[in-house]
């Protein structure tokens, strides 16, 4: 795959490898959702965070996913789900900006 912006080649490589280089959204389901959200908001390696009634979504680098899992377990949260979600659109926008 190649990403071109305004006629200039920005990046080229295998899709799965490229997606690991950009920001990753991870959907989290844990017990004590509100408490987890408050504590995650204090972590400098979490780039973005939002919560709804059933899950937390955080943005972090792909390589930080194992750290996230270890951190949640160390804080004694019951982890029900960690689901990474990175789309090509997210990756493209992280490279060229949104506008």
In a domain, 79, yes or no: yes
Whole domain around residue 63: which residue ranges?
Answer: 23-88
Residue 16: CA count within 13 A, CB half-sphere: 0
Total structural domains within the chain: 1
Q: What is the pLDDT of residues 51-98, one digit of tens each?
A: 999 999 999 988 899 999 999 999 999 999 999 987 777 777 777 876
Q: What pTM value is reported for the model?
A: 0.73
Q: Which CATH number fits the domain that encloses residue 50?
A: 3.30.70.980
Secondary structure (DSSP) of 5-72: ETTEEEEES-HHHHHHHSEEEEEEEESSHHHHHHHHTT-TT--EEEE-SS-EEEEEEGGGHHHHHHHH
Q: What is the pLDDT of residue 70?
A: 98
In a domain, 11, yes or no: no
In a domain, 52, yes or no: yes
**Which residue has tokens 């943005």?**
59
In a domain, 15, yes or no: no
Bridge partner list, 2: 12
């Amino acid at each position: 795959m190649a990403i071109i912006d305004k006629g200039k080649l920005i990046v080229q490589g295998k899709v799965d490898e490229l997606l690991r280089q950009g920001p990753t959204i991870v959907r989290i389901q844990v017990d004590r959702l509100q408490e987890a959200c408050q504590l995650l908001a204090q972590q400098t390696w979490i780039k973005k965070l939002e919560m709804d009634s059933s899950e937390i979504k955080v943005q972090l680098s792909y390589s930080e996913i194992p750290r996230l899992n270890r951190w949640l377990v160390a804080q004694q949260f019951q982890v029900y789900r960690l689901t990474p979600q990175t789309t090509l659109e997210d990756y493209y926008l992280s490279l060229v900006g949104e506008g």
